[in-house]
Structure 1
Amino acid sequence: MSAEASSSHIAPGGATSGLTINLHPLPILNVSDHFNRSRLTSSGSTRIIGALLGTESNREISIVNSFELVIGSPDGDVDMGESSTPAAQSSNSTSLNTTFFETRKDQFKQVFPTLDVVGWYTVGEKPTAEDVALHQQFTDIIDTPIFLLFNPNHPASSQTLPVTIYESALAEGGKDDSTDGKFVELAYGIETGEAERIAVDGVSRGGMGGEGEESTVVANLTTQRNAIRMLYERVAVLLQYITGVINKTAKPDHNILRQVSALVATLPTMDAREFRDELTTDYDDVQLTAYLTTLTKQLSALSDYADKHNLLHPPPSDDFGGSHGGSRGGRGYGGFEYGGGGGGRRRR
């Protein structure tokens, strides 16, 4: 379908329902992984769709996770285990396998009880007629689903994400106008937690230098360093703000001050005797471990030095006559015993 034809399914001036969309990194990574696996393992064009998991509070939706879906007949005659094969998904089919959808939704509900299906995703540059038909089927299952479109041909030089989020355009009076096959684009923001930021940073960096255990150790240390650095930067921002409020150079925000006070209240008391005893014990253990490590290294170095010294300067032999003499306690020149245990004679 041409770009002009596909753009006919977007309502440029359509009214939205005023939703606030917060998109987490995990669904983006899942959709990208789904597309790459399908492209590498399927011989032909395969329809890629999936469900979006998240939370909805008032008019705010957070998209947290996702799972793959199957295109097939609604009565469930497609095998669930063949969801990634071309036989299980047909690019010409616009029928959602509702049996597979309900089964997978129940499975994810057991693992993530706080998450609900809030929409669906597919891959493409613009919404198509097939997308309109699928969205209508999701509308029959989910109240006001959102539609995420992942564009694999997004220019690499662009500073935006290859993701666009839509909802059904609303007609005058706020009624759903999805029967006319129109979508309206929604603005969204990226929401991440500390663990997500660290994970995304690790994915963006790719493999670390080195091989084997060295690479793993370097990657773990780098991750810890980045986490500590981010924590330090955020603490520095809070400290700068509190200092500004005290010096009356910054306007006090009581909401922020309450959150800072609640955060400080969760920290352990620094001047308590139990805290100092535990800190002293941990400090002593660390110092003792460092001393033992240093001592072990010095002993190892001393042992190596002794071995090398013995090789270069062997101790003098007690055998007389070198190779011509006998062994200790044996007979030397002239038949005299030497080196014996008691009263033996040595020939000069």
Structure 2
Amino acid sequence: MSVGASSSHVAAGGATSGLTINLHPLPILNVSDHLNRLRLTSKGESEIIGALLGSETNREISIANSFELVYAAPEGDVDMGESSTDPNRGSRTQKLDTAFMETRRDQYKQVFPTLDVVGWYSVGEQPSPEDVNFHQQFTQIIDTPIFLLFNPNHPSDSQALPVAIYEAALAEGGKDETIEGKFVELAYGIETGEAERIAVDGVTRGGMGGEGEESTVVANLTTQRNAIRMLYERVAVLLQYITGVINKAAEPDHNILRQVSALVATLPTMDAKEFREELVTEYSDVQLTAYLTTLTKQLNALSDYADKHNLLHPPPIDDFGTSQGGMRGGRGFTGYEMGGGGRRKR
């Protein structure tokens, strides 16, 4: 069930503007971090708002980042949030601090020139009158702002993300007039880059138990296990489909079959001579690297031992102030006294 499906501020039959939304993981992490920090530093639940940064191409919006916003309370004080236990909450109108938003937007554009404010976010189970108030203020700054609602009470066993995205509902027939105080939910997809996947993977590993090297090993093994399990499940689906096509139990889809054929063609041939030679070469390189690492560690340990030995047993100093370690009259590293006629044990 989507967030806010039973809200009186969500129009069941409202028309959308046909936007395609691509959501990156970073805004979700930012909103969650914003909520957790505010819960730890303030009493009770607080109103949370922020701006969504992204890019718009034709009718496609990509939400890539976000930053926090402040608003001016009715008394004129700038605040990051207002307690939800306030009896006047909902009867007073909070005003968005547009000057602060413009300053933060200009700062972000200096670092990310391709990103601009495309909407805003809040936290709650469903759209509220305060959300309608803030959205109306954003419409005076942005032509078609989108509204992201993060649900902190989302069921933990649900496979869906605790996020819903809305825009102002249009009148029937797709006219430009908006339905006053109503939202319509938009479908969205998840878009990630390689850098974002690495960052999310790092956040996931940070929450695992254990300390030091143990935590790192467990995290790496867990990641590999999940990747192998996912690969196995997908291969099983492909195998089941191919078996069904061969047994005439499933309708053949030539587009899927071509993709499967191209995927199989990219796999290495295990019996090929070139593959075996490359495997042996790579294996030898790995073993050589391991041997060099071990040898380096042993040399380092020997060097440390020699330094400690020289510190505990310094060589004698002659009348000229010159060390005679390992030379005539002195005692070398092996503990023998070097003389003119040979060496003898001291």
TM-score using structure 2 length:
0.61
The within-5 A match list for 1:50-65 is 50-65=50-65
Give the structure with the larger strand fraction.
Answer: 2
The within-5 A match list for 1:167-178 is 167-172=167-172, 174-178=174-178
Deviation per residue, 1:78-113 (Å, 9 max, x gap): 4xxxx65769xx965521011110111111112222
Measure, in 2, the Cα distance between the counterparts of 1:130 and 1:159.
Answer: 29
1:225 deviates by: 8.0
Q: Is the 8 A contact 1:21 1:60 kept in 2?
A: yes
Q: Is the 8 A contact 1:118 1:142 kept in 2?
A: yes
Deviation per residue, 1:213-259 (Å, 9 max, x gap): 44345545765787799899999999xxxxxxxxxxx99999xx99x
Deviation per residue, 1:255-309 (Å, 9 max, x gap): xx99x99xx9xxxxxxxxxxxxx9999876543333456779999xxxxxxxxxx
Q: Is the 8 A contact 2:150 2:163 kept in 1?
A: yes
Q: Is the 8 A contact 1:20 1:188 kept in 2?
A: yes
Residue of structure 2 equivalent to 1:128: 128
1:130 deviates by: 1.6
Which AA in structure 2 matches 1:51?
A
Which AA in structure 2 matches 1:165?
I
How many pairs align? Answer: 282
Measure, in 1, the Cα distance between the counterparts of 2:81 and 2:25.
Answer: 26
Measure, in 1, the Cα distance between the counterparts of 2:106 and 2:23.
Answer: 23
Residues 232 and 54 of structure 1: CA distance in aligned 2, closer, same or farther (over 3 Å): farther
Residue of structure 2 equivalent to 1:42: 42
Measure, in 2, the Cα distance between the counterparts of 1:288 and 1:189.
Answer: 46
1:196 aligns to what SS in structure 2? Answer: helix
Measure, in 1, the Cα distance between the counterparts of 2:228 and 2:110.
Answer: 34
1:7 aligns to what SS in structure 2? Answer: coil
Measure, in 1, the Cα distance between the counterparts of 2:66 and 2:254.
Answer: 37
1:69 deviates by: 0.6
How high is the sequence identity, in percent, across the aligned residues?
76
2:95 aligns to what SS in structure 1? Answer: coil
Deviation per residue, 1:155-211 (Å, 9 max, x gap): 333332221111111124644444711111111122223443444345445544432
Measure, in 1, the Cα distance between the counterparts of 2:82 and 2:183.
Answer: 29
- Report which stretch shifted further, 155-164 or 27-36: 155-164
- Report which stretch shifted further, 212-221 or 138-147: 212-221
1:32 deviates by: 1.4
Larger radius of gyration: 1
Residue of structure 2 equivalent to 1:322: none
Gaps of 5+ in 1: 239-249, 265-277, 300-348
Which AA in structure 1 matches 2:290?
A
Which AA in structure 1 matches 2:26?
L
RMSD of the TM alignment (CA)? 4.8
Aligned: 1:140 with 2:140: yes
2:156 aligns to what SS in structure 1? Answer: coil
Give the structure with the larger helix fraction.
Answer: 1
Gaps of 5+ in 2: 239-250, 266-277, 300-346
Which AA in structure 2 matches 1:180?
E
Residues 18 and 298 of structure 1: CA distance in aligned 2, closer, same or farther (over 3 Å): closer
Residue of structure 2 equivalent to 1:96: 96
1:20 deviates by: 1.0
1:30 aligns to what SS in structure 2? Answer: helix
Which AA in structure 1 matches 2:167?
E
Deviation per residue, 1:99-134 (Å, 9 max, x gap): 110111111112222211111000112222221121
Measure, in 1, the Cα distance between the counterparts of 2:114 and 2:228.
Answer: 30
Q: Is the 8 A contact 1:72 1:97 kept in 2?
A: yes
Residue of structure 2 equivalent to 1:319: none
TM-score using structure 1 length:
0.61
Residue of structure 2 equivalent to 1:31: 31
The within-5 A match list for 1:182-221 is 182-204=182-204, 206-216=206-216, 218-219=218-219
1:31 deviates by: 1.0
Measure, in 2, the Cα distance between the counterparts of 1:108 and 1:123.
Answer: 23
Structure 1 stretches (4+) deviating beyond 4 angstroms? 83-87, 90-93, 220-238, 250-254, 278-285, 292-299
Residue of structure 1 equivalent to 2:323: none
Q: Is the 8 A contact 2:55 2:115 kept in 1?
A: yes
Measure, in 2, the Cα distance between the counterparts of 1:194 and 1:284.
Answer: 30
Deviation per residue, 1:1-42 (Å, 9 max, x gap): xx99x8332211011111111112221121111111111211
Residues 154 and 176 of structure 1: CA distance in aligned 2, closer, same or farther (over 3 Å): farther
Aligned: 1:149 with 2:168: no
Q: Is the 8 A contact 2:170 2:179 kept in 1?
A: no
Which AA in structure 2 matches 1:124?
G
Q: Is the 8 A contact 2:171 2:179 kept in 1?
A: no
